[in-house]
Amino acid sequence: MKSKFLPVVLLLLTAKINAQEQVIKKTNDIAEMEKQSREKRINNGLVSLASGNFTVHYYKCEWKINPSKNYITGKVTPHFIITGATSSLVFDLSNALRVDSVYMRKTKLLFSQASNQTLTIQLPSAYANGSMDSLSIFYQGAPIGGGFGSFVKSTHNGKPVIWTLSEPYGARDWWPCRNGLDDKADSIDIDIIHPTKYKASSNGMLVSTVLKGKNITSSFRHRYPIASYLVALAVTNFSTFTDSVQLGNKKMPVISNIYPEDSATFHSTIYMTLNALQLYNNKFTQYPFVNERYGQTQFGWGGGMEHQTNSFITSNGENLVTHELAHQWFGDKITCGSWQDIWLNEGFATYCADFLYPENNNVAQYKQNVKSDLDYIVSAPYGSVKVDDTTNTNRIFDGRLSYDKGAFLLRMLRFTMTDSAFFKGIRDYLGDPLLQYNFARTADLQRNLEAASGLNLTYFFNQWYAGQGYPSFTVQWSQNATNQANITISQTTSHASVSFFQVPLQLKFKNATQEKTILVQHTVNNQLDIEDIGFKADTVLIDPDNYLISKNNKSIKLASVKTVADLNISVAPNPFTDRINVTLQDKAAGKKVMLQLFDNAGQSVATNTGTTTGSRSSYMLATPRNLSPGNYVLRVTVDGKTTIHNVIKK
Ligand SMILES: [Zn+2]
């Protein structure tokens, strides 16, 4: 789903869209967020209340829809498997809809509806674990849309339209189902009965249209696992156009249902969808529903929604159509296993839409998108990708956190892991037998990325997924006569949940004619690094290509380091055992002295500070007893001037 990167013209023209945008950005205000969350909890617990004693492996749905009227008449037949012995089943269903009857074959079953949006059905007898059966629920009513609409009657160009958008909790607003993120039906059949002057659009393949009096029954068949929130319908006077795309050795139809007034415009840009289908198919894994089709259906909500095999979109902007397409892999084939992990849907789709630009040789646009995403992410010093309140729809779909910061996590992972390991890890994730056509949590992605890279990424997910905020780097540097750079990297963090961000950090040394970029594994605060630059730099740029989330970085050039001889410093003994003595020839009073000992990884292992008194000349640095023998670097700073000494522990 996507609502925030709307074309500017649409934002100006459509007050409703603007309102949506406002709602999402407003969540940056903690007080507002907490207020909304409390209200939501009071209104209704936004969770699936379907009982855990069954799963549904197949739904047969028959829906009668006339877009002129906000009304649905339905018969839904779930085929279920009992997972815990029981004599009753609880489905999610809005109590705005009236259930007329429930039948199991010819037996009428007892049922009750409750104000917590549930339908409880008494089975004719106790069912043992593992038993399978089906029943049919007959219902009707005027749906009350929630969330992002769920069931909406509207108009376009004076013509009536009904469309659905059930994410995250809205499926129960118009059909009885299991509404949670714990059950995908293996397949679904959908019959939509509608007036002859309209067309219907839904999931999977349209296999027949049968005329019956003033109505047509449009029958859709879908033979892949599907979550309830990804089931959708739309009915209006659609224009249909069909294209095809070659995916490996398979030619697949791409079927679009667009409002007649916009059909030519949408068709003129369908190549963007076809190109992206091929690119994602080649880069990640085969299009997940290749035996059926992909399609787009126009609707009136301000954005797009990745209904399985059939994305609903408001416009034909490239970023929107590629975002919704990417969801077919990330969101539909593998669905987030909790709304806490929505970034597995939205972060990926946002990343994939941006990622197409350099693949299509539009690097400038890509850099611009990355920069604007970054600016938005760091516009507040807090907020985690992990959703901390899944009862609040606006928090789940927070554009700054679930979309942009989620996408940036993938960018940072790719940078941390290297390209080949990153894409292997993503392909392994998409093909993971435990996850494909099923649900995944963040730990499942981590497991696949770690296996592909050989890295332990726990620190990464603690910092960036669960943790909040960002680092601000300060790089102090100087160069000596042989162009060796002496670099100290320190950081502060914007939020107390992360005290230090371990990152690979790029530093670009440059002057008017030369530049050199070095990569430092920044693993500890006040880290010392020494690099041969090869020329005299005048500037150091921190993370110049925006690989990291950070803000307020400072690069400070220190006065040139004097040679050891200039400062008249002597270090003894070397090799040392447990202490190092530093002797200064300059005995002037009031100068600050700092001694720092670093190991080969740049980690500080001992420090001492003092102030010259005018009489003392010797300063002692005690070193830890358990220090391993080997090479160390001693940094001596006197009055802001630093010298570096290589020392050896015996
Ligand atoms: Zn999305």
What is the 3-state secondary structure of 505-545?
A: EEEEEECCCCEEEEEEEECCCCEEEEEECCCCCCEEEECCC
Query: Ligand 1 center to residue 568 CA distance, Å?
Result: 64
3-class DSSP assignment, residue 427: helix
Q: What confidence score (pLDDT) does residue 343 get?
A: 98
Low-confidence stretches of the chain (pLDDT beneath 70): 4-46, 560-567, 586-587, 601, 616, 640
Phi and psi for 322 in degrees, rounded to 5? Answer: -75, -30
- Name the residue range of residue 505's domain: 471-557
Query: Ligand 1 center to residue 118 CA distance, Å?
Result: 28
Q: What confidence score (pLDDT) does residue 561 get?
A: 53
Question: What's the DSSP call for residue 299?
Answer: -
Instruction: Indicate whether 370 and 489 sit together in one domain.
Output: no
Instruction: Indicate whether 183 and 267 sit together in one domain.
Output: no
In a domain, 290, yes or no: yes
Contact 385, 17 (CB under 8 A): no
Query: Ligand 1 center to residue 343 CA distance, Å?
Result: 9
Task: Give per-residue pLDDT as tens, 71-86.
Answer: 999 999 999 999 999 9
Instruction: Indicate whether 203 and 293 sit together in one domain.
Output: no
Which tokens sit at 315?
Answer: 């416009």
In a domain, 480, yes or no: yes
Instruction: Indicate whether 269 and 389 sit together in one domain.
Output: yes
Query: Ligand 1 center to residue 376 CA distance, Å?
Result: 17
Instruction: Indicate whether 265 and 121 sit together in one domain.
Output: no
Instruction: Indicate whether 179 and 275 sit together in one domain.
Output: no
Instruction: Indicate whether 522 and 448 sit together in one domain.
Output: no
Query: Ligand 1 center to residue 349 CA distance, Å?
Result: 6
Distances (CA, A) of 318 to 125, 259, 276, 424, 469: 54, 18, 10, 26, 30
Query: Ligand 1 center to residue 32 CA distance, Å?
Result: 24
Instruction: Indicate whether 330 and 312 sit together in one domain.
Output: yes
Question: What's the DSSP call for residue 204?
Answer: S
Query: Ligand 1 center to residue 310 CA distance, Å?
Result: 13
Query: Ligand 1 center to residue 629 CA distance, Å?
Result: 54
Query: Ligand 1 center to residue 386 CA distance, Å?
Result: 16
Ion ligand 1, residue ranges at CB < 5 A:
1-2, 346, 349
Last residue of a domain, one of 534, 557, 580: 557
Q: How far apart are the first and last CA of the chain?
A: 62
Q: What confidence score (pLDDT) does residue 65 get?
A: 98
Last residue of a domain, one of 444, 469, 494: 469
Instruction: Indicate whether 465 and 475 sit together in one domain.
Output: no
Phi and psi for 31 in degrees, rounded to 5? Answer: -60, -45
Contact 574, 628 (CB under 8 A): no
Domain of 143, CATH number, reads: 2.60.40.1730
Query: Ligand 1 center to residue 247 CA distance, Å?
Result: 23
Query: Ligand 1 center to residue 37 CA distance, Å?
Result: 22
Query: Ligand 1 center to residue 240 CA distance, Å?
Result: 24
In a domain, 614, yes or no: yes
Domain of 489, CATH number, reads: 2.60.40
| Number of separate domains in the chain | 4
Which tokens sit at 568?
Answer: 């008249």
Query: Ligand 1 center to residue 397 CA distance, Å?
Result: 9
Instruction: Indicate whether 464 and 483 sit together in one domain.
Output: no
In a domain, 242, yes or no: no
Task: Give per-residue pLDDT as tens, 245-270.
Answer: 999 999 999 999 999 999 999 999 99
Round to whole Å and give the CA distance between 89 and 328. Answer: 31
In a domain, 641, yes or no: yes
Instruction: Indicate whether 548 and 592 sit together in one domain.
Output: no
In a domain, 243, yes or no: no
Q: What confidence score (pLDDT) does residue 587 get?
A: 66
Round to whole Å and give the CA distance between 304 and 275. Answer: 19
Query: Ligand 1 center to residue 346 CA distance, Å?
Result: 5
Domain of 620, CATH number, reads: 2.60.40.3080
Domain of 308, CATH number, reads: 1.10.390.10
Query: Ligand 1 center to residue 348 CA distance, Å?
Result: 8
Instruction: Indicate whether 105 and 209 sit together in one domain.
Output: yes
Query: Ligand 1 center to residue 403 CA distance, Å?
Result: 8
Query: Ligand 1 center to residue 375 CA distance, Å?
Result: 20
Query: Ligand 1 center to residue 402 CA distance, Å?
Result: 10
Query: Ligand 1 center to residue 324 CA distance, Å?
Result: 6
In a domain, 169, yes or no: yes
Contact 212, 154 (CB under 8 A): no
Last residue of a domain, one of 541, 557, 573: 557
In a domain, 244, yes or no: no
Three-class HEC string of 461-506: HHHHHHCCCCEEEEEEEEECCCCEEEEEEEEEECCCCCCCCCEEEE
Q: Is the peptide bond before 260 cis (omega within 30 degrees of 0)?
A: no
pTM of the predicted protein model: 0.84
Paired residues of 504 in beta bridges: 521
Q: What confidence score (pLDDT) does residue 589 get?
A: 79
